[in-house]
Amino acid sequence: MADPHIGMVSFQDALRKGSLKLGPVAGHADLFSHFDMPAPGEGRLTFVRLADDRRTVRAFLSCLWNGEVEGCPCMAVGYAVPMDLRNQGLAKRILQDVISEQAAQAGKRGLSAIYVEAVIDAGNIPSQRVAEAVLKVERESLTDEASGRPAYRYTKRVDCQPTEPAERGS
């Protein structure tokens, strides 16, 4: 279980140095995405909600595709918000927006559903509250393989609306 706060701090540093390319997320003026490959064959999609200066992270969410659940792709998420911006609903909002965006993208690819999974340290009560509020599923107790620490897994099925690709030349 990686700590998304560490990823957010690293992302913020790279953003300020100008070493990241961000793409806008349609329908969200302050939401941007970045794709990278942290390991061979492992794609990571990171979403950030930025301040008006477009250089300051207000909310961070990292996604990795993590196998399948019941034959549907599973998106593992980790989210973080800078300490001075917590308790404003920013984590809930970015999680909701990313789930909606990824479900829409999956629907465009003809998928009927995706799963969203959050594995959260048992001591991280604020992050658990975000998962409970947004995912609205029962949690599963586990021991995280990487850290050996007690954790909770929240796994939610999200139905997608398959859409026909737009016709060329229309």
Flag the least confident range among 11-15, 37-41, 110-114, 137-141.
Answer: 37-41
Residue 161 pLDDT more than 90? no
pTM metric for this prediction: 0.92
Residues 6+ apart with CB under 8 A from 122: 141, 149, 150, 151, 152
Name the DSSP class of 58.
E
The residue extents of the domains of the chain are 4-159
Higher pLDDT pick, 164 / 70: 70
Query: Tokens 């279980």 correspond to what residue?
Result: 1
- The confidence score (pLDDT) of residue 113 equals 97
Distance CA 79, CA 127 (A): 8
- Return the CATH fold of 4-159: Aminopeptidase (3.40.630)
pLDDT bucket at 170, cuts 50 / 70 / 90? very low
pLDDT bucket at 61, cuts 50 / 70 / 90? very high
pLDDT bucket at 164, cuts 50 / 70 / 90? low
Dihedral sign from CA coordinates of 146, 119, 127, 27? positive
- The confidence score (pLDDT) of residue 165 equals 55
Residue 114 pLDDT more than 60? yes
Residue 166 pLDDT more than 80? no
Contact present, 144 and 88 (Cβ < 8 Å): no
